[in-house]
Structure 1
């Protein structure tokens, strides 16, 4: 959006017009233009934000990441939930996190919270594939098969 604002600026649009086009404040447009004029493209990059430091140290974060990755490969079924991770952190490191903070922590560790359906521990892949190939009309035990 910052580069788009600059494109409008160099086309001769006023900062008021740019702010209106982009639905941002004029103050933001002024800052972006000034930062570009003072520092070039590097001036448009996000600066690190201040905030509370992570409660977990580097070694603890590595251990947590390993736990999550190992849990993904489990074959006994079930899903790894935020509550599971929250409990793991509490038991392993004696540090309490809210669920929203656990989610942010995982996001900062480049974990996406999109999960697939877990594999049932008694599931048989060959039977599942055979079932997919059945057609309703070919299997007399199938509920959709017309009676003859």
Structure 2
């Protein structure tokens, strides 16, 4: 089939959006919606939706909507309190580091909300807390003795 009209397809690295853009390109090349569905291996209903959206609003109408998901179980004030707690308790006085299960227990005890440990780390990322720590230090370690040992080894 020869091109009826050339269109400039916007660049994206999103595979789902590329598929929608390709459907529009095939539509402009003169393919029927049924043949586009067969070529792209998607349902005809999807192709109809994409083409209708494109015709009514252009490429912007094809944009993927952000999935909202379940609302957070913690309010913004609770999240701020949690962030403050994590930052102030990141290094334990008796040695060791704050772990996901510790944060999980704090949330349960303070806010009466249950989180899986996996979601604790997701929540930390949302709060802007990077969960990469250095090796913990023993509370009884002697830095002066370590430095003296290093000097004697050289």
Shared fold (TM-score greater than 0.5)? Answer: yes
How far apart in 2 are the matches of 1:42 and 1:69? 42
Number of positions where the alignment pairs a residue of Structure 1 with one of Structure 2: 124
Deviations 1:44-84 (A, max 9, x none): 13244353x32222211111112223334x37542222101
How far apart in 2 are the matches of 1:32 and 1:123? 67
Which residue number in structure 2 is paired with residue 18 of structure 1? 40
Matched, 1:98 2:116: yes
Structure-1-length-normalised TM-score: 0.58
- Correspondences of 1:70-81 after superposition (within 5 Å): 70-72=88-90, 74=91, 76=93, 77-81=95-99
How far apart in 1 are the matches of 2:145 and 2:53? 61
- Correspondences of 1:1-148 after superposition (within 5 Å): 1-9=15-23, 10=25, 12=29, 14-19=36-41, 25-26=42-43, 30=47, 31-39=49-57, 40-51=59-70, 53-72=71-90, 74=91, 76=93, 77-113=95-131, 115-121=132-138, 122=141, 124=143, 127=146, 131=150
Q: How big is the shift at 1:37?
A: 3.7
In structure 2, stretches of 5+ residues that fail to align are 1-14
SS of residue paired to 2:78: helix
| Conservation of the 8 A alpha-carbon contact between 2:97 and 2:136 | no
In structure 1, stretches of 5+ residues that fail to align are 20-24, 140-148
Structure-2-length-normalised TM-score: 0.56
SS of residue paired to 2:74: coil
CA RMSD of aligned residues (A): 3.7
